[in-house]
Amino acid sequence: MAQEDPFEGLLGDTMKQKKQALVFANTRPRAESLAKQTAVIINPLLSVEEKKSLEKLSQKIENALEIPTEQCKKLAHLIKNGVAFHHAGLIARQRELVEDNFRNGLLKVISSTPTLAVGCNLPAFRVIITSVQRFDFSGMKNIPVREYKQMAGRSGRPKYDKAGESIVLCKTEIEAEEVKRNYILGKMEEVSSKLGVQPVLRMHLLALIASKYIFDVDSMDDFFARTFYAQQYHDLDNLKRMLRGLIKELYELEFIDGEENRFWATKIGQRVAELYLDPLSASALIKKLKRDKLNTFSVLFALTDTTEIRPYVNVSAKKEPEIWEEIQKRWEEMPLD
């Protein structure tokens, strides 16, 4: 007799208890693949009424865009089976429909990347974490303990349950022991402020001026003296030096204006703050978009040549000559001096 797959067994048991589950995957394709696997398990356990309601929800999901994409159709098909995938590639309306219908109990399982690990209050009795590893530019790495705790913390939310379960799927006893030691019993990493990083500080400074929390040097010094960065590093003199340099920079970029000791955001500065852009990126984009010859290629190049896109995605050695050749052909279209 074939042994039951642990993942399928956990989902079947969740449904038997009339509960819901969140499944966490480390990539978007994996989240979608697990949702497809889950649909086969959940569909036979749905009532006729639930299937009718899910059919209507499926149509809303598919028609969230005027012209449905392949992803819209894929998600809509899964919704009919009482399951969904959830990641940053979904449009806001689809994410809203998935979350709302999980809250009302119509959707039984969501398979997600860590997008649902923070700030979401959902009625998941059971959280199933399929891997504690994630790919970055140098290969597979263990996720931080903090990230595990966030995912585990989605189970058994006080509003919905008295208890919850978080389960990490492991292939061997050795791996299970390692997960227990590092994650379940492990200490969370220290939190350190990133406010001292110039692009971060520059963006927050403009946002605070645009929202009128800061309007002169005194209000600026007072606000930043109360931040976590100031409390953690006790280096106010260096922070003040950085802030004064950035104020000068924002004047030069024409994102703020002022008289005597007071300053305020210009119209374009206000818009840059609303878009959460690094002011340096915004300034570079404005200059590039003022060029006469603009097409899709040059606009896309301008967008990718910003601090927000870094670190750049690696290109395979096989693709690199092809890309350089294309760039040389279209050099005139490049938004560069």
**What tens digit of pLDDT does each residue of 223-238 get?**
999 999 999 988 888 8
Measured on CA atoms in the order 92, 204, 229, 308, is the torsion positive or negative?
A: positive
**Which of the pair, 189 or 293, is modelled with greater confidence?**
189
In this prediction, residue 3 carries a pLDDT of 62
CA 140 to chain centre: 19
In this prediction, residue 137 carries a pLDDT of 64
In this prediction, residue 140 carries a pLDDT of 79
pTM here? 0.69
Which stretches of the chain are DSSP H helices? 6-16, 28-42, 48-62, 70-79, 92-103, 145-152, 173-179, 198-210, 217-225, 228-233, 236-252, 267-274, 279-289, 296-304, 320-329
Q: For residues 65 and 50, give the distance between their C-alpha atoms in angstroms, rounded to a whole number.
A: 24
**What tens digit of pLDDT does each residue of 201-229 get?**
999 999 999 999 999 999 999 999 999 99
Max mean pLDDT range (87-101, 115-129, 307-321): 87-101
pLDDT band at 245 (very low <50, low <70, confident <90, very high): very high
Query: Would the pLDDT of 189 be above 60?
Result: yes
Long-range Cβ contacts of 231-239 (<8 Å, 24+ apart):
232/192, 232/193, 233/193, 233/196, 239/196
Q: For residues 238 and 103, give the distance between their C-alpha atoms in angstroms, rounded to a whole number.
A: 47
Query: Would the pLDDT of 1 be above 60?
Result: no
Helix (H, G, I), strand (E, B) or coil at 1: coil
**What tens digit of pLDDT does each residue of 13-33 get?**
999 999 999 999 988 999 999
**What tens digit of pLDDT does each residue of 172-185 get?**
999 999 999 999 99
- With contact defined as beta carbons under 8 Å apart, do 155 and 116 qualify? no
Residue 88: Cβ within 10 Å count = 9
Query: Would the pLDDT of 97 be above 50?
Result: yes
- Average pLDDT over the chain reads 90
